[in-house]
Structure 1
């Protein structure tokens, strides 16, 4: 009887959600890297809930982190190093059939900055300090305004290179992998105490993509593990994702380049 009791399913931890995301992401990236060799399109379906899972985990992580500034800085360094590493590898290998455009760190950074802005607005309202409220609004709007500036620079032949390099170092909403879908992060943060509302937001986004005929509607399946999340951290893997994410993409890219050219 005791063994049956202890073996009962107790829900998913944050660790479990991350592992699910990593496995699904790996399958998705196999499709991306091996399309030139005929990788089937259905492999891409596995990746559709991944961004949503990582967005949700970032909301949970940011809500409980001891230092939100350090959390933001880790994501910023991840974004920059991922961009530079992909640039160097792609230029050395010269495998043009696959483009290394992946950088989930940028998506998470933009979303996290907006969560940070929400916190500043909340602090300002509590302390009745208009300066903090304005700072929070500015932080939230920064990735939107930077998008507009970068797009205007890209449209001018004289400033195109400055814009290209600016994208590498400046968090901008419209230059993220998932574009406006990143807004799910601050929205889920606002609804962090109402999981049903978080899942409703995901469902609304999925319905939008379904109406557009995009397979991204499959993000709705992220709702299942999110509803089964037990609120516990689980095993620690604080820095694992920061290393696994770029390394698995670069390795798959190199393997694909080797197989395609031999």
Structure 2
């Protein structure tokens, strides 16, 4: 018997539909796409952050889950680099790589797991290791920042490589908003607290005067999540993201 509410599959479908509308705006804004299309994309990252917390919490192998995200992050970085090198659309810059955001989040969740294990076992060394893992995205950000300041050609090449392979939080598509992932993970057994954290984050963006405050509408599908996985099609979602961005970018190039 089917439960009422939304499954993980339903959340992913909703996420990619909203994301598609947002990316139509991104690619075709220079050609007259209305700004209100961008509004649809504001809850997307929050929905996928929530789904990643579910996935990381319930996967049979967290190592394989993280490896899959990292490989996707690198391939996405290679694809956008190659696309922009050989197909130039001056009005469009491809900074898209949600896989980096999600991988950075899994690194932090993995760090939280190690800290928790060290606390339970009264092992200070393991707790220190967990903190170090949690801070890796910030440490990588420091490395990227150092490369940005270095004037040599080698540093320039290293910077290009870093943009592809390093899970630095400063390179994340959503910046510090990625910190919402470990917060949602810590509150994974309290849906009301997860929704409160999302609302507080949205309030910050409202005060800052950006449209990202519309992420608050992600609370509706998240609150309706029924705990079921739903249909599979795992690799469809991994393929849809780079695929639709490449197609929309190429269409924008044709218009240009």
Q: Decide: shared fold, TM above 0.5.
A: yes
Query: What corresponds to 2:168 in structure 1?
Result: 172
Write out per-residue CA displacement over residues 42-93 of structure 1, whole angstroms, 9 at most, x where no aligned residue: 0000000000000000001100000001111111000100010111122111
1:38 and 2:62 correspond? no
Higher alpha-carbon Rg: 1
Query: What corresponds to 2:60 in structure 1?
Result: 66
1:228 and 2:227 correspond? no
2:100 to 100, 106, 109: 106
Q: What is the distance in 2 between the residues matched to 1:86 and 1:180?
A: 22
**What TM-score do the two structures reach when normalised by structure 2?**
0.96
1:93 to 44, 67, 87: 87
Q: Give 1:164 deviation, angstroms.
A: 2.9
Query: What corresponds to 1:258 in structure 2?
Result: 254
Query: What corresponds to 1:3 in structure 2?
Result: none
Q: Give 1:123 deviation, angstroms.
A: 1.3
Write out per-residue CA displacement over residues 163-191 of structure 1, whole angstroms, 9 at most, x where no aligned residue: 23212111001110111100000000000
Query: What corresponds to 1:162 in structure 2?
Result: 158
2:178 to 177, 182, 185: 182
**What TM-score do the two structures reach when normalised by structure 1?**
0.94
Q: Give 1:129 deviation, angstroms.
A: 2.4
Local SS of the residue matching 2:25: helix
The question of whether the paired residues in 2 share the 8 Å contact of 1:154 and 1:164 is answered with: no
The question of whether the paired residues in 1 share the 8 Å contact of 2:77 and 2:163 is answered with: no
Write out per-residue CA displacement over residues 102-150 of structure 1, whole angstroms, 9 at most, x where no aligned residue: 0000000001100011011111122222232122111100001111221
Local SS of the residue matching 1:239: helix
**Number of corresponding residues:** 254
RMSD: 1.3
Query: What corresponds to 2:13 in structure 1?
Result: 19
Query: What corresponds to 1:195 in structure 2?
Result: 191
Write out per-residue CA displacement over residues 216-262 of structure 1, whole angstroms, 9 at most, x where no aligned residue: 000000000011100100011211111000000000000111122xx
1:244 to 216, 240, 256: 240
Q: What is the distance in 2 between the residues matched to 1:204 and 1:161?
A: 40
Q: What is the distance in 1 between the residues matched to 2:119 and 2:253?
A: 54
